[in-house]
Structure 1
Amino acid sequence: MLFWRLAAVGSLLLAVPVCAHEVAGKNGGRVTDAGKYHVELVARDKTVDVYVTDEGEKPLPATGFKGTAILVINGKPARITLIPTDDKKLTGTAEVALGSAPKGAVQLTAPDGATASGKFN
């Protein structure tokens, strides 16, 4: 009897989606936690824009940050290098259209060398 209860609870836990605090962002993208930062991923056609904010959701300058977006496109992972294009965001270009809500992760290296990553489901 105990086995069946544990099995039932285990299957329910597996059925619940894991949420990494993903919410809607100020720039029309999705926001998730990435270490001590929040990252907003905005995908339009082949372009990926990433906005970085601090824990208080204050925008941080993109200058000095480096990053990589690893997104699933048509069932295959695509690595997209992100570089600061202005003071507000990091941008990269994919080889194919991304859709508006691609799944994957963003890996960042901050100006101080610290790394962080955020997952988008």
Structure 2
Amino acid sequence: MIPRCVLAGLLAGSVIATPLQAHEVAGSRGGRVADVGRYHAELVAAGEAVEVFLSEGDRALPAAGFKGTAILVVDGKPARVPLSPAGDRLAGRAPAILGPHPKGAVQITAPDGSTASGRLP
């Protein structure tokens, strides 16, 4: 039999941990943020437009030299959206209108040729 104090501690710990596990990360532009290797990628969707803003730590990165792919759920099916540099971000167009927080993942290739991917929460 488990002592009551141990059982109470386990239950209290699970209640405290549950909200943290359900936490959704939102970026400064209102998009979803994914850890992509050593980078952070904030995906912002509006209509068919897909934009990914990259940062490393607290420092925004220019998109020049990067390329990527967003793999998003569009109309219930996965769709690959090629991303290329457009000013300070990577940009692409989805095959259909997206909601503001599409589910999926982001894959990027850095200027040094390294690749990484991350799932959007």
TM-score when scaled to structure 2? 0.79
Deviation at 1:74, TM superposition (A): 1.4
2:40 alignment counterpart: 38
* Aligned twin of 2:59: 58
Distance (whole Å) between structure 2 residues aligned to residue 115 and residue 49 of structure 1: 18
Q: CA deviation at 1:57?
A: 2.1
Please tell me the root mean square deviation across aligned C-alpha atoms, in Å: 2.3
Q: Displacement, 1:73?
A: 1.0
Deviations 1:51-75 (A, max 9, x none): 0000x22101100000000001111
* Runs of 4+ off more than 4 Å: none
SS at match of 1:84: strand
Does residue 109 (structure 1) correspond to residue 109 (structure 2)? The answer is: yes
Q: Which runs of 5+ in 2 are unaligned?
A: 1-17
What's 1:13 paired with?
A: none
Amino acid at match of 2:110: A
| Structure 1 residues 1-121: aligned runs within 5 Å | 22-54=24-56, 56-86=57-87, 88-121=88-121
Is 1:24–1:30's contact at 8 Å kept on the other side of the alignment? yes
Deviation at 1:120, TM superposition (A): 1.1
Match of 1:6 in 2: none
Q: Which has the larger radius of gyration?
A: 2
Q: Across the two proteins, how many residue pairs are aligned to each other?
A: 106
CA distance in 2 between counterparts of 1:47 and 1:106 reads 15
How far did residue 22 of structure 1 move?
4.8
Question: Once the 2 structures are TM-superposed, how far is the Cα of residue 93 of structure 1 from its aligned partner?
Answer: 0.3
**Structure 1 CA distance, aligned partners of 2:73 and 2:25?**
19
Q: Check conservation: 1:25, 1:40, Cα contact below 8 A.
A: yes
TM-score by length of 1: 0.79
